[in-house]
Structure 1
Amino acid sequence: MSAVRSVLGRARRDPVVVQTLRATVAATLSYAVAERLSTQPAPLTAPLTTLLVVQVTLYSTLTTSARRVVSVVAGVVLAIGFSSVVGLSWWSLGLVILASLTLGQFIRVGEFVQEVAISAMLVLGVTQLASQAWDRVLETLIGAGVGLAFNLLLAPPVWVESAGESIEDLARRVRQLLLRLGEELDSPTPVARAAERLHEARRLDQHIAEVDAALRQAEDSLRLNPRISEPALSRVVLRTGLDTLEICVVVVRVIARSLTDLAKRRRPDEPLFAPDVAAGLQDLLGHLGGALVSFGVLVTTQVSRDAEGADARLTAELAAAWASRDHIAELLLRQVQRHPLAWQLHGALLAEVDRILDELDVEHRTTRLMEELDRGGALRRRRAGALARLRRLARGEPFRPPR
């Protein structure tokens, strides 16, 4: 029984499962409503529209509904206009398709540009029955209305938690890579093995793209959602957190490249570093990995649970990493004095560690958050001012330019 509850719990948090169930129920309701209101024997346009409209978030549902309705109405109106002048032939069909696709670009319906042409072609085939054309518009409105009402009455989930889990998973992947890099520092490292670690670092870009997609979905779920008191803060916290981790992934990739270049300069039976330096670097990379995981947890807990505890853990990890970094700097200086040709790679290694520590610094993150919030507030104030000017113009008040 516990296993079943665990599977059901994971299913409720899976966007694919939730979206499948929601779209199925909404489309079925849409068809039932269209059967009562439309004169067509099989009003399948309504459930089709609902399937396209009922998105994972309320914001995407609203935007998709508007674009879908506009595209269908534009195609119908265009086809009715053509049908009153010419009939259906190969050249009139081509002309309608060209005009529809061009109109779709002008009215900015996004991915529904093709829908303008599809609606026009379907209506052009029934030019003598204009009522059938408007039935298509009616079914589209029914599908969009049912989909929108479905999401308003049964609000879609907020996907912040799943986005946070993706961010934490990315941080743990980076930590595992750093630990593997550290384990190979005190033993002979073939160039092929060092290159494989470099490829692992490059493959992290794919995980960043997946996290970015999950984060965009979470950002959309926060828009227009009454259950979130501070959606702007939640979006900024998650987005800046992912930006920081992305920079750190790039730097880790550079670290892997530096170690690969160092392996090329060593004999096959020679370790990358002396035992004391390798032990210090292992400790440093371990603290870096711990700081990255603590940072990932902090990013997600600021929007859900105990942020103070996560902040304390990150501060402790950063302090330990800085102390280890200073110790390693002294050891590397001595090794460079014995092997001057390696000074550039050793210096680059320290600079890359410094960059990660600077990116994870608590004060640096606080400053970044404040800058993003100020930028977002200024943008909202400009939009509010533009809307206020439009309202004054609509009421016939004289135009007053902004100061």
Structure 2
Amino acid sequence: MPPLRSPATRGELMQIVKAVVAGVLAWLVADDLLGLGSAFLAPWTALLTVHATVYRSLTRGAQVVGATVLGVLVSYLVVEMAGYNAIALGAAMLVGMLAGLLRPIRNEGSTVATTALFVITAGQAEQAPMLVDRLSATGIGVAAGLVVNALLVAPLDDLSARQQIDSVCRRLGTLIGNMADEVGSRKDVDAQSWIEQSRQTDAALGRAWELVRHTREARFANPRRLPQDLGPSDYAALLLRLEEGIAQTRAIARTIDQAKGGHTGWSEQFCPRWLHALAVLGDQLEHPEEEARSQRPELESLVAELSSTDLSQDHWLAYGSLIDSTIHISDVVDDITASRRVSV
């Protein structure tokens, strides 16, 4: 379980509190205030309506209303035709689960079946006057869920997205820094390990994309908008640049892997300057709050010097590939660190 201070855990605990508050509020209105005969449907519906975002509460709330109304109607019709028996109960649950295949209430088949089950076992399914009570209780539950979810610290999850993006940046920076250190040692390196680490960083990036999509959804119709922070579109731009950075880092690892130990004989004119630029880029990703100049001019200067040097074709292919990928990483790092300094 994540630590209690983590945004994810706090968000989950807040959802539990809101679900309880919504259920109690719905019960008080339906039973104590209005005295509805089917007041139990109000807290039941409220629990189903409270979701992680206001948007999802609205959309799923509409589905819950449709599913609950359908469950009430199914229970009424089945009991009218078959009476109170096991066959009626089974038929109501079967119809309810099949209804979940319909697009308007997809994924709410269990809600239809459970509502029908509640109503039938309560022994009031055949009483037509109770239909109004049940539908009213359903509406009260949905309203309570929406109000509580919107007003009681409506979730945004911006912090989770920011922290995950920062984590991906640090992982990529650490990987780049380690690559520079290991190549600089002039010993055999495990480039396949770097490639695997880049894939793991890609997986962390996928998690960041999920959180950004959730953040975009959380901001819809949310009273707790934070205009001064980076928005989902800004996060998405950062993630796209990170994708490029990871891909170029993997390209460097593959170039070194294909050299099959040839890096130990690379030119002193190339290797120290290139490794220095690579190490600086890794450090910039790990510490975005520190001002650092772009490495592109240094790399372009290195290209200009090497172009007048008599190098073997094999070295040129390796140097050219490595410098090209590193220039791309430099551009990515410049964009990412500038954006992250704004949000720090």
> Do residues 201 (structure 1) and 201 (structure 2) align?
no
Matches within 5 A, 1:11-90: 14-36=10-32, 37-39=35-37, 43=40, 45-87=41-83
| Aligned equivalents of 1:204, 1:61: Cα separation in 2 | 33
| Aligned equivalents of 1:335, 1:202: Cα separation in 2 | 36
| Contact 1:76–1:134 under 8 Å retained in 2 | no
Matches within 5 A, 1:108-187: 108-123=104-119, 126=123, 127-129=125-127, 136-187=134-185
Q: 1:65 deviation in Å? A: 1.5
| Contact 1:251–1:352 under 8 Å retained in 2 | yes
TM-score by length of 2: 0.77
| Contact 1:71–1:112 under 8 Å retained in 2 | yes
| Aligned equivalents of 1:231, 1:55: Cα separation in 2 | 25
Choose from 297, 302, 320 the match for 1:347. 320
| Aligned equivalents of 1:134, 1:232: Cα separation in 2 | 46
> Do residues 281 (structure 1) and 274 (structure 2) align?
yes
Higher normalized helix content (fraction of residues) = 1
Matches within 5 A, 1:290-301: 290=283, 292=285
| Contact 2:15–2:52 under 8 Å retained in 1 | yes
Q: 1:132 deviation in Å? A: 6.4
Tell me the equivalent position of 2:342. Answer: none
Choose from 214, 231, 236 the match for 2:233. 236
| Contact 1:72–1:119 under 8 Å retained in 2 | yes
What amino acid is the match of 1:14?
R
Deviates more, 1:109-118 or 1:237-246: 109-118
Tell me the equivalent position of 1:266. Answer: 261
Deviates more, 1:173-182 or 1:128-137: 128-137
The percentage of counterpart residues that share the same residue type is 24
- C-alpha distance 122-19 of structure 1, shift in aligned 2 (>3 A): closer
| Aligned equivalents of 2:305, 2:43: Cα separation in 1 | 69
TM-score by length of 1: 0.67
Deviates more, 1:18-27 or 1:85-94: 85-94
What amino acid is the match of 2:233?
V
What amino acid is the match of 1:118?
T
| Contact 1:158–1:222 under 8 Å retained in 2 | yes
| Aligned equivalents of 1:96, 1:332: Cα separation in 2 | 79
- C-alpha distance 106-332 of structure 1, shift in aligned 2 (>3 A): farther
Q: 1:119 deviation in Å? A: 2.8
Q: 1:329 deviation in Å? A: 3.3
Choose from 282, 285, 293 the match for 1:317. 293
- C-alpha distance 27-91 of structure 1, shift in aligned 2 (>3 A): closer
| Contact 1:280–1:327 under 8 Å retained in 2 | no
| Aligned equivalents of 2:264, 2:136: Cα separation in 1 | 74
- Structure 1 portions without partners, runs of 5+: 1-6, 298-309, 367-403
- C-alpha distance 131-76 of structure 1, shift in aligned 2 (>3 A): same
Tell me the equivalent position of 2:207. Answer: 210
Secondary structure of the residue aligned to 1:84 is helix
- Structure 2 portions without partners, runs of 5+: 340-344
| Aligned equivalents of 2:231, 2:199: Cα separation in 1 | 29
